[in-house]
Amino acid sequence: MAQDVLNALTLGSLYLLFALGMSLAWGTIGILNFAHGSIFMFAAFSAHLIVRDVALPIVAVIAFGVLVGAALSVLLQVLAFEPIQRRAEDHRKAELQILVGGIGIAIIPLAIAQHLTRSVPFGYSAGTFSVTTWDLGFVRLSNIQLITLVTAFGLAGLIGWWLRAARPGLALRAIGVDSEVATMMGVDRRRLALLTMAVAGGLAGLAGVLLTYYLGSIAPETGDAFLLKAFAAIILGGVGSIAGVVVGALVLAGIETFVLVTTNGSWTPAIAFGLIFFMLLVRPNGLFGRQEVRRT
Amino acid sequence: MSTWYLSHQILIQSTFISLLLALSIQVPLRAGVFSFAGIGSYAIGAYTAAILTIRFQVPGIVAIGAGVLFAAVVGYLLALLVARLSGLYLGMATISFALFLAVVATNGGDLTGGATGLYGAISTVTTEHVLAVTAIVVLLLAANERGAFGRRVDAVREDPQLAVSLGIDVIRLRRTVFVISGALGACAGGMNSLLRTTVSPETIGFHLVVTALTMIIVGGALSWAGAAIGAVIFTWLPTVLQFVGEWQLLVYGFLVAIAAVYFPTGLLGLLQSGWRWFRARGRRIPAEGAGALEPDAAEEPERVLSALSSAEARQ
């Protein structure tokens, strides 16, 4: 029982790291990045390519994954999302184009990784890090679980504090409320958008590397599954709310682990979809979301 | 001609089936409804047709028709459920609806054949039937894109608030669109499972969303013709570009990304604006001398306005 709770918490932290950046970008600069899953996977994959040749310690692998994720995300913002937002006639059309463009771009890293790995799962077995497990009596905790838990909750707390208290964080939230007025108040929208995308990509890369260490190996297609689960977590908690993502990720992971333990697990993939649909019907703003007025 | 037709029958069939599937997303999109429910309807149609054919040996047309009716009803109910949602939220709700159905199909036990799916749905459906159905659908859609109804749909897409104030029943139009989308998706699904005699949960998934979107976005989302261009391109590209081979997915990704970022109106939009430019140029060249000033002067305010609005959009 305690072991299941710990596993659910670890899974929840991985969902949290992944969904945090997505929720941040969606809630503030209005970018729902469908390529987030691909960035996550490709960062982990690039780290795999490096580790295969050079036996690196875990810190270096994580740093590399974070850098690749951030670089890809910024590149995506500059090459695709910025031109779309500049050219689109209105907000609604820009949203749609960003979503479709993200879906298209997401195919590219996936195709490269599938081609190079022949769709065989990849891992970091050549690295210097090895998983050790401590038996605490009532539960077995591995070092990678500990790292995941600490970084996920630490970073969620840090970002939550930054959005609430730091001046750039306030400016970013102001963009989320009204981007035009924020610009008039002297907020540099472009710079903050790039920063947000870099943070989101870095978090995705971090989640990718940690997941690969945790599971031993991941397949290139893992990104798509994570993307839809992150949606469920974000919708459950409310778009743009950090506390919401934390709760959403943990609840999703909790339900999934519960179903996996008590049944044969064939319904597990449906939980995320069911949650998205149910939440959108009953409370589209999520548990912690802002109320939004829409007239038509 | 006929040998070519026979040897490419599978490709011809899948061109028209993909066209119907793409239309099930394009029709809502044209009315400004961002719904992927057509993918879910594809699953409903595919399974209904296969189950009816295997269990009750009903004729193909009845099996597909039952699927279409069922999916249209589900589409209506779904429209009632998601009436409050719009934009991305609606898109996400309908994607999860479609993917949820795929999991249901995996867990359906004997009825849906579980993860392996259903085999042996043999019927008399032929390529000619697919052609005829697609032709009727396209004719009906093309007729609806013109005239008063077409303009009403345009108004709802461009500005729902304005449409309401003009007396257009936006809610009813949105429901209609869901029903049409459901029927089209189910038609595509039903015909596909009867032509291939098999259906499995793997054929319904996120990749189907990507395929349909790819066709519409590259072809052009605002007309059935765009969906047709997309369906032709993405069904025949792999056979034409054989050297692309294993990098096919990569090419698709680039095409969609470029179309979404730089040509949001798709190939159809490009063709249309190219045609307009060509005609406008043709008209101005012969009118040299005194006559040339008049059309120029008439266009002046328009040009000033468009320059103004593009300057505004850039800010």
Q: How far apart are CA B139 and CA A33, in angstroms?
A: 37
Q: Name every chain A residue with its beta carbon within 8 A of the beta carbon of B32.
A: 92
Q: Name every chain B residue with its beta carbon within 8 A of the beta carbon of A104.
A: 214, 217, 252-257, 259-260
CA-based Rg of chain B, rounded to a whole angstrom? 22
Say whether pLDDT at A291 is over 80. no
Q: SS3 sequence, A229-293?
A: HHHHHHHHHCCCCHHHHHHHHHHHHHHHHHHHHHCCCCCHHHHHHHHHHHHHHHCCCCCCCCCCC
Total residue count of chain B as it appears in this document:
315
Say whether pLDDT at A240 is over 90. no
> Which amino acid, A225?
A
Say whether pLDDT at A7 is over 80. yes
Q: How far apart are CA A103 and CA B50, in angstroms?
A: 31
Q: How far apart are CA A184 and CA A195, in angstroms?
A: 20
Q: How far apart are CA A244 and CA A236, in angstroms?
A: 7
**By the CB < 8 Å criterion, does B257 face chain A?**
yes
Element (H, E) at A207: helix A189-215
pLDDT for the residue numbered B307: 57
Closest chain B C-alpha to A276 CA, distance in angstroms: 6
Residues of chain B above pLDDT 70, percent: 88
Q: Which of A273, A283, A294 to mutate to test the interface with B (most CBs of B within 10 A)?
A: A273
Q: Name every chain B residue with its beta carbon within 8 A of the beta carbon of A284.
A: 84-85, 89
Q: Which of A277, A278, A279, A283 to mutate to test the interface with B (most CBs of B within 10 A)?
A: A277
CB contact under 8 A, A80 and B259: no
Closest chain B C-alpha to A57 CA, distance in angstroms: 33
Q: Which of B200, B205, B212, B203 is nearest to B50 (CA)?
A: B200
Q: Which of B30, B307, B218, B315 is nearest to A87 (CA)?
A: B315
Q: Name every chain A residue with its beta carbon within 8 A of the beta carbon of B252.
A: 104, 107
Closest chain B C-alpha to A92 CA, distance in angstroms: 7
Q: Which of B10, B247, B199, B240 is nearest to B101 (CA)?
A: B199
Q: Name every chain A residue with its beta carbon within 8 A of the beta carbon of B257.
A: 80, 101, 104-105, 108
Token reading at A250: 């943990």
Q: Which residue has the higher pLDDT, A286 or A101?
A: A101
Q: How far apart are CA A8 and CA A25, in angstroms?
A: 26
Q: How far apart are CA B16 and CA B124, in angstroms?
A: 17
pLDDT for the residue numbered B202: 85
CB contact under 8 A, B257 and A231: no
pLDDT for the residue numbered A176: 85
Q: Name every chain B residue with its beta carbon within 8 A of the beta carbon of A228.
A: 95-96, 99, 206
Element (H, E) at A76: helix A58-76
Say whether pLDDT at A239 is over 90. no
CB contact under 8 A, B92 and A103: no
pLDDT for the residue numbered A136: 82
Element (H, E) at A123: strand A122-123
Neighbours of B214 (CB within 10 A): 25
Q: Name every chain B residue with its beta carbon within 8 A of the beta carbon of A111.
A: 247, 249-250, 253
ipTM of the complex: 0.85
For residues A149-174, average pLDDT: 93
For residues B50-60, average pLDDT: 90
Residue B84 pLDDT level (bands cut at 50, 70, 90): confident
CB contact under 8 A, A280 and B89: yes
Residue B310 pLDDT level (bands cut at 50, 70, 90): low
pLDDT in tens, B201-260: 888 888 888 888 889 988 988 889 999 999 998 888 877 777 666 777 888 888 888 988
pLDDT for the residue numbered B185: 95
Contact call for residues A3 and A257 (beta carbons, < 8 A): no
Q: Name every chain B residue with its beta carbon within 8 A of the beta carbon of A101.
A: 256-257, 260-261
Select the residue of B246, B256, B313 nearest A104 (Cβ to Cβ). Answer: B256
Q: Which residue has the higher pLDDT, A83 or A294?
A: A83
Say whether pLDDT at B67 is over 90. yes
Q: Which of A89, A107, A224, A281 to mutate to test the interface with B (most CBs of B within 10 A)?
A: A107
CB contact under 8 A, A273 and B254: no
Token reading at B48: 């209904």
Select the residue of A83, A106, A270 nearest B103 (Cβ to Cβ). Answer: A270
pLDDT for the residue numbered A75: 96
Q: Which residue has the higher pLDDT, A14 or B122?
A: A14
Q: Name every chain A residue with its beta carbon within 8 A of the beta carbon of B310.
A: none
Q: How far apart are CA A230 and CA A25, in angstroms?
A: 13
Lowest mean pLDDT among A64-73, B123-132, B293-302: B293-302
Select the residue of A32, A108, A276 nearest B253 (Cβ to Cβ). Answer: A108
Residue B139 pLDDT level (bands cut at 50, 70, 90): very high
Residues of chain A above pLDDT 70, percent: 97
pLDDT in tens, A248-262: 999 999 999 999 988
Q: How far apart are CA A153 and CA A9, in angstroms?
A: 10
**By the CB < 8 Å criterion, does B224 face chain A?**
no
> Which amino acid, B264?
P
For residues B97-122, average pLDDT: 86
Q: Which of residues 84-103 of B touch A (CB under 8 A)?
A: 84-89, 91-93, 95-97, 99-100, 103
**By the CB < 8 Å criterion, does B244 face chain A?**
no
pLDDT in tens, B155-171: 998 888 899 999 999 99
**By the CB < 8 Å criterion, does B226 face chain A?**
no
Q: Please report, in angstroms and rounded to a whole number, the separation of the first and last CA atoms in chain B.
A: 55
Q: Which of A77, A40, A82, A79 is nearest to A223 (CA)?
A: A40
Token reading at B178: 């869901």
pLDDT for the residue numbered A296: 39
Contact call for residues A73 and A198 (beta carbons, < 8 A): yes
pLDDT for the residue numbered B44: 95
Q: Which of A111, A135, A101, A106 is nearest to A38 (CA)?
A: A106
Say whether pLDDT at B2 is over 50. yes
In this structure, what is the dihedral angle of CA atoms B47, B227, B88, A219, given to the nearest 10 degrees?
A: 60
Closest chain B C-alpha to A32 CA, distance in angstroms: 9
Q: What is the mean pLDDT of chain A?
A: 89
For residues A158-177, average pLDDT: 91
Q: What is the mean pLDDT of chain B?
A: 85
For residues B58-87, average pLDDT: 91
pLDDT for the residue numbered B240: 76
pLDDT in tens, B261-309: 888 888 888 898 899 988 888 665 554 554 444 444 445 555 555 555 5
pLDDT in tens, A96-144: 889 889 988 999 999 999 989 888 899 888 877 888 888 888 888 899 9
pLDDT for the residue numbered A140: 87
pLDDT for the residue numbered A54: 87
Q: How far apart are CA A236 and CA B97, in angstroms?
A: 16
Residue B311 pLDDT level (bands cut at 50, 70, 90): low
Q: Name every chain B residue with its beta carbon within 8 A of the beta carbon of A272.
A: 96
Q: Name every chain B residue with its beta carbon within 8 A of the beta carbon of A115.
A: 246-247, 250
Residues of chain B above pLDDT 90, percent: 37
> Which amino acid, B172?
R
CA-based Rg of chain A, rounded to a whole angstrom? 19
CB contact under 8 A, A103 and B256: yes
User: DSSP 3-state assignment of A242?
Assistant: helix
Q: Is the pTM of this model over 0.95?
A: no
CB contact under 8 A, A296 and B34: no
**Dihedrals φ, ψ of B300, to 5°?**
-55, -55
Per DSSP, what are the bridge partners of residue A142?
Answer: A133
pLDDT for the residue numbered B1: 61
Q: Measured between alpha carbons, how far is residue B126 from residues B63, B121, B129, B197 in Å?
A: 14, 13, 5, 12
Q: Which of A70, A52, A11 is nearest to A254 (CA)?
A: A11
Angle between helices A91-117 and B248-262 (to 10 degrees): 160
Token reading at A273: 């979809």
